[in-house]
Amino acid sequence: MPVAADVVLGAGVTIHHPVLVNLYGCTVGEGSTIGPFVEVQRGAVIGARCKIGSHSFVCTGVTLEDEVFVGHGVMFVNDRHPRAASGGRLQREGDWVLEPTRVGRGASIGSGAVVMCGVTIGAGAMVGAGAVVTADVPAGATVAGVPARLLARATAGAVAPPPADATAPGDTEPKSAPP
Ligand SMILES: CC(C)(COP(=O)(O)OP(=O)(O)OC[C@H]1O[C@@H](n2cnc3c(N)ncnc32)[C@H](O)[C@@H]1OP(=O)(O)O)[C@@H](O)C(=O)NCCC(=O)NCCS
């Protein structure tokens, strides 16, 4: 089932191709949009008015606050030292340590970025395309590269984190009813 029955969808969530996603046990806030070939795992939380680009993976332990932009092919991570098996059998829950990740309100994550587990990306921050985020990103900062580092020039012109009561910008993308 592409969108499982236990997914909590807010009002006006747009899933452009509901048969081409894999959402289960997660929460998606009102007005958010989800592109094709996106997986959102159990327990992940996507806030209101977020945009999740195609081919992105939002795993268990990830929280996206409101108005977060996730580009295409963005990979979140929740297991720092992954192993397929231990003790001669496949690993299960409890055999590994989940490290949660939080992305602050209004932050943007460029296409192809990898966000390592256990980090906090501050409100309004900008993560460059292809970056590997290995440490916390300050609110409003711009980071890029592998590992992601502050971009001095871009950071100087960075936008301030959006206020908590900011109104939603108009969304011109086509709407479809939640499944
Ligand atoms: C990181 C980013 C926001 C910086 O934009 P900017 O502030 O306009 O910065 P500039 O283009 O002036 O580049 C500044 C410097 O950072 C470098 N840089 C820019 N983006 C980079 C990236 N993704 N990775 C590594 N270095 C990058 C530039 O080469 C430049 O280096 P230099 O000063 O040595 O010449 C932007 O390049 C980016 O990656 N945006 C994400 C786009 C995206 O994924 N969109 C998704 C929807 S299509």
pLDDT in tens, 46-77: 999 999 999 999 999 999 999 999 999 999 99
Q: What integer pLDDT is reported at residue 75 of this predicted model?
A: 98
130 lines ligand 1 (CB under 6 A): yes
**Cβ partners under 8 Å of residue 94, min gap 6:** none
| Higher-pLDDT residue of 49, 177 | 49
Q: Is pLDDT above 70 for 101?
A: yes
Average pLDDT over the chain, rounded to whole? 89
DSSP character for 115?
A: E
* Amino acid letter, 30: E
Would you say the CB of residue 132 lies under 6 angstroms from ligand 1? no
Q: Which long-range contacts (CB under 8 A, 24 or more apart) does 118-125 make?
A: 118/80, 122/161, 123/65, 123/161, 123/162, 124/158, 124/159, 124/160, 124/161, 124/162, 125/158, 125/161
CB atoms near residue 158 (< 10 Å)? 17
Separation of CA 168 and ligand 1 centre (Å): 26
pTM of the model: 0.89
Q: Where does the pLDDT of residue 163 fall: very low under 50, low under 70, confident under 90, or very high at 90 and above?
A: low
Distance between Cα 112 and ligand 1 center (Å):
13
Phi, psi (5° rounding) for residue 27? -125, 135
**Is 72 designated active site?**
yes
pLDDT of residue 164: 59
